[in-house]
Structure 1
Amino acid sequence: MATCFRLPMASTAPCSSSSSSPLKHRSFNIRCAANFHTSTNIPMPPINPNDPFLSKLASVAANNPDALFSRSQNSEVPPYLDIYDSPKLMATPAQVERSVSYNEHRPDTPPPDLPSLLLHGRIVYIGMPLVSAVTELVVAELMYLQWMDPKEPIYLYINSTGTTRDDGETVGMESEGFAIYDALMQLKNEIHTVAVGAAIGQACLLLAAGTKGKRFMMPHSKAMIQQPRAPSSGLMQASDVFIRAKEVLINRETLVKLLAKHTENSEETVANAMRRPYYMDAARAKEFGVIDKILWRGQENIMADVMAAEEWDKNAGIRVADDF
């Protein structure tokens, strides 16, 4: 950069003998350039304040120009990077990741998963049997929603066969359902439960555990209560089988007490209903106390205008010969 100032300094130099050798001209120009750098402010172009590299370069040029012009030509350091103690030319990957936001109208990043989108609407969806992975996710979502806002309601949609599969095979421990139930009981929020599809076993308990008056069921959903099942004993010895059977009986007593509490039935009534798998459609589930309302537009008004079958037969003059 020193050569760019030679021509102006040579034309404005106060004295220069034509008989001097080229070597004297060169040494004179270097001395004049050094005096020029130390005595004259170098005009600087406008600097972007958001560019840390150029800002640092401008401050060095203003305070110590020799650091810029007295450069080593054979240095292995890239130009002007040695003035930084720890140069950073770009953001770290973590900073870049945090600066990216998702916009569905201008998708620069992959969209979030559906459970995350539902969680944004304060909706928790249980669509699988209650295994440990499902329990972990549901309990974490419930705690997160309470932390976000302890006053807004949480909507729990249920389509689950509980701790068993549809064929009755055990897939999870009864403690998985009790874990979600205990988490629901600890929340300060209102819990609106909605059955879509099926709510069987422990899932039926979660349906009934919603806030009173806020428990719903789709018109063609099914609810079912049943006794807890013991997992396959395999080649266990007799004492281990007895221990498991005892634990199943304890879980059954706990399930009966909780269902009786939330359905407002006696424990004897619930225990008798659970002797065999007890299926309930939406109307029977409402009658049993599992839910409060059926989510069918206008259905309740229509059903209120329809007489019961016995009343219809009585008004029509039909007498039932044999009760069966």
Structure 2
Amino acid sequence: MNVLIKSSNGITQVSADSKLLSQRKVFIEGEITPEAACEFIKKIMVLNEEDSSKPIDVLINSPGGEINSGMVMYDVIQASKAPIRMFCIGRAYSMGAVLFACGNHGRYMLPHSELMLHEPLLGNRVGGNSSSIKSISESLLETKRKMNQILSKHTGKSEEEVEKATSYDHYFSPEESKSFGLCDQIVDFSVIMEG
């Protein structure tokens, strides 16, 4: 999608993404993949280079995705010098919910958005000998422990409380997200527009 911008040089056509990036708004949309993670990292790097004191708004609408890609995005969000404010604009499921919950400078949900947490899932069908399957299982349990620690850190809940909440597909309304410590505030769309 393109938008028209008026300036002293006339009218220019730019992509909506470019216009929003110039307003320090970055999207995590669709599945979290290695490619999506790289695009996200590039945008955060550019905005930090431009001005590391001005907030960046990250708008999430994602069903989740690959854990390794999400963890790289998590590292970038945590290390960004520019404050990153998280907005859930629809759904933030699985890894998307973890990324949303890790915001250190405000975690905001629109009134009809939703979070979902669960245990880490295997991406592919399991095959191989018993040693391979055992190794995969141990790796999955370690990933689960790591995810629970991260969620515990960002929600203020104990790892046991997080483990109980993630033992099945647990859907959280904005109000439930707030009471579980996943969200700071339920806001309306105008807050995103004000920037």
The TM tier, using the shorter chain, reads 0.7 to 0.9
Does the residue aligned with 1:196 lie in a helix, a strand or coil?
A: strand
Alignment-derived partner of residue 141 in structure 1: 43
- Structure with higher RCO (Cα < 8 A, 6+ apart): 2
C-alpha distance in 2 between matches for 1:244 and 1:158: 30
Distance 1:115 1:241, change over 3 A: farther
Does the residue aligned with 2:125 lie in a helix, a strand or coil?
A: coil
CA RMSD of aligned residues (A): 1.8
Q: Which has the higher strand share?
A: 2
C-alpha distance in 2 between matches for 1:107 and 1:242: 61
Does the alignment pair 1:281 with 2:173? Answer: yes
* Offset, 1:235: 4.2
Counterpart of 1:119 (choices 21, 31, 34) is: 21
1:75-125 CA-to-partner distances (Å, cap 9, x unmatched) read xxxxxxxxxxxxxxxxxxxxxxxxxxxx734457xx333222211000111
Preserved CA contact (<8 Å) 2:53 2:81: yes
Alignment-derived partner of residue 83 in structure 2: 190
Alignment-derived partner of residue 150 in structure 1: 52
1:185-241 CA-to-partner distances (Å, cap 9, x unmatched) read 1111211100011011111111111125x1100111010111110122354333222
Distance 1:113 1:237, change over 3 A: farther
C-alpha distance in 2 between matches for 1:189 and 1:107: 31
C-alpha distance in 2 between matches for 1:278 and 1:175: 22
C-alpha distance in 1 between matches for 2:36 and 2:133: 27
C-alpha distance in 2 between matches for 1:268 and 1:295: 30
C-alpha distance in 2 between matches for 1:276 and 1:234: 20
Consecutive aligned runs of 4 or more in structure 1 exceeding 6 Å deviation: none
Normalising by structure 1, report the TM-score. Answer: 0.54
C-alpha distance in 2 between matches for 1:192 and 1:231: 29
* Larger radius of gyration between Structure 1 and Structure 2: 1
C-alpha distance in 2 between matches for 1:107 and 1:245: 57
Alignment-derived partner of residue 159 in structure 1: 61
Counterpart of 1:271 (choices 158, 163, 167) is: 163
Alignment-derived partner of residue 260 in structure 1: 152
C-alpha distance in 2 between matches for 1:104 and 1:189: 27
Alignment-derived partner of residue 5 in structure 2: 104
Alignment-derived partner of residue 57 in structure 1: none
Taking only the aligned residue pairs, the percentage that are identical comes to 27
Q: Which amino acid aligns with 2:5?
A: E
C-alpha distance in 1 between matches for 2:156 and 2:137: 28
Preserved CA contact (<8 Å) 1:124 1:154: yes
C-alpha distance in 2 between matches for 1:194 and 1:296: 10
Does the alignment pair 1:199 with 2:100? Answer: no
Alignment-derived partner of residue 103 in structure 2: 210
Alignment-derived partner of residue 193 in structure 2: none
C-alpha distance in 1 between matches for 2:31 and 2:100: 14
Preserved CA contact (<8 Å) 2:74 2:99: yes
* Offset, 1:250: 1.1
Q: Choose 147-156 or 238-247, whichever is displaced more.
A: 238-247
Unmatched 5+ residue regions in structure 1?
A: 1-102, 164-171, 298-324
1:111-156 CA-to-partner distances (Å, cap 9, x unmatched) read 3332222110001111111011100100111111111101000100
Aligned runs of 1:1-324 on 2, under 5 Å? Answer: 104-105=5-6, 106-107=10-11, 111-163=13-65, 172=66, 174-212=67-105, 214-233=106-125, 235-296=127-188
* Offset, 1:285: 0.2
Normalising by structure 2, report the TM-score. Answer: 0.88
